[in-house]
């Protein structure tokens, strides 16, 4: 069944410790009707697990099951999705991908103060240096919707929340008739003129990896 969303879905991603959850919690207060999904919690609440990774001491998320649970909620629009994995969500359901970035030494201190052991800290620092998360986002979504924001300080976090909130307001203004949740083939007849959304080619395949530590 064809359906439309009337508020944007925003994915907030980045290496563990970069400030996704802190940013999303502020953002949620600014975007009145938004629904916030912290995927680590969501997967647990909906039992979207497929075993346990002993080496990483973390549950392995069953991505198919996760999407089965999440997709109907995302189709309503106004979702803020918080996860370090970003390449599994259907492209047609995502309006903005925010990739938070953090300076290595700042990130080190944050992860250390969480009590992470050295190998886990190093794995995450390496991922941040190599830009694993931004690369995944750029490989999975149109570049126009991927934004990279620095998140080293509280002031930067406030600025980032301001920017995302302004972007959301602009989206609402530009899309008074909403955007489609369906796969639209580029170049096919456009019935409803929602061409800001453009054609979406849907779900980029998951790499099948669990991503880095959570």
Identify the sign of the CA torsion 200, 203, 205, 208. Answer: positive
Q: In the chain, at which residue ranges do the beta strands (DSSP E only) sit?
A: 4-5, 10-13, 35-38, 49-53, 58-61, 79-82, 96-101, 146-150, 179-180
Q: What is the closest distance, in whole angstroms, from the C-beta atom of residue 59 to Mg ion in the complex?
A: 15
Q: Which stretch binds ligand ATP (CB under 6 A): 41-49, 133-141, 145-153, 192-200?
A: 145-153
Q: How far is CA 58 from the centre of its chain?
A: 20
* Count of residues interacting with ligand ATP (CB under 6 A): 17
| 114 known ligand binder | yes
Which residues partner with 179 through β-bridges? 5
| 14 known ligand binder | no
Cα–Cα distances in angstroms (integers) from residue 10 to residues 16, 31, 80, 130, 143, in the given order: 18, 11, 5, 24, 15
**9 vs 15 by CB, closer to Mg ion:** 15
**31 vs 100 by CB, closer to ligand ATP:** 100
Q: What is the closest distance, in whole angstroms, from the C-beta atom of residue 116 to Mg ion in the complex?
A: 13
58 lies in the site for Mg ion, by CB under 5 A: no
Residue number of the CB closest to ligand ATP reads: 19
Residue 110 binds which entry of Mg ion, ligand ATP, none, CB below 5-8 Å type-dependent: ligand ATP
Pick from 35, 156, 194, 204: which binds ligand ATP (CB under 6 A)?
156
Task: Please state, in angstroms and rounded to a whole number, the distance separating the CA atoms of residues 193 and 90.
Answer: 21
Q: CB neighbours (10 Å) of residue 118?
A: 9
154 lies in the site for ligand ATP, by CB under 6 A: yes
Task: Please state, in angstroms and rounded to a whole number, the distance separating the CA atoms of residues 31 and 2.
Answer: 26
21 lies in the site for Mg ion, by CB under 5 A: yes
22 lies in the site for Mg ion, by CB under 5 A: no
Pick from 19, 77, 78, 211: which binds ligand ATP (CB under 6 A)?
19
Task: Please state, in angstroms and rounded to a whole number, the distance separating the CA atoms of residues 85 and 137.
Answer: 9
Pick from 4, 22, 28, 138: which binds ligand ATP (CB under 6 A)?
22
Residue stretches of the annotated binding site for ATP: 17, 19-22, 114
């Amino acid at each position: 069944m064809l359906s439309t969303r009337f508020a944007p879905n925003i994915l907030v991603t980045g290496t563990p410790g970069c400030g996704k959850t802190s940013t999303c919690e502020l953002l949620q207060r600014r975007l009145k009707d938004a629904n916030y999904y912290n995927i680590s919690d969501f997967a647990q609440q909906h039992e979207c697990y497929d075993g346990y990774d002993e080496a990483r001491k973390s549950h392995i998320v069953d991505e198919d099951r996760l999407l089965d649970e999440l997709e109907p909620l995302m189709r309503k629009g106004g979702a803020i999705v918080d996860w370090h994995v970003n390449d599994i969500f259907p492209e047609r359901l995502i309006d903005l991908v925010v990739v938070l970035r953090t300076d290595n030494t700042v990130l080190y201190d944050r992860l250390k103060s969480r009590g992470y052991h050295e190998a886990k800290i190093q794995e995450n620092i390496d991922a941040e240096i190599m830009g694993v998360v931004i690369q995944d986002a750029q490989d999975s979504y149109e570049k126009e919707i991927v934004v990279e924001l620095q998140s080293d300080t509280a002031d930067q976090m406030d600025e980032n929340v301001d920017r995302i909130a302004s972007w959301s307001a602009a989206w609402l203004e530009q899309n008074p008739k909403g955007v489609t949740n369906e796969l639209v083939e580029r170049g096919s007849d456009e019935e409803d003129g929602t061409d800001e959304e453009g054609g979406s080619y849907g779900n980029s395949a998951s790499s099948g990896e669990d991503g880095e530590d959570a």
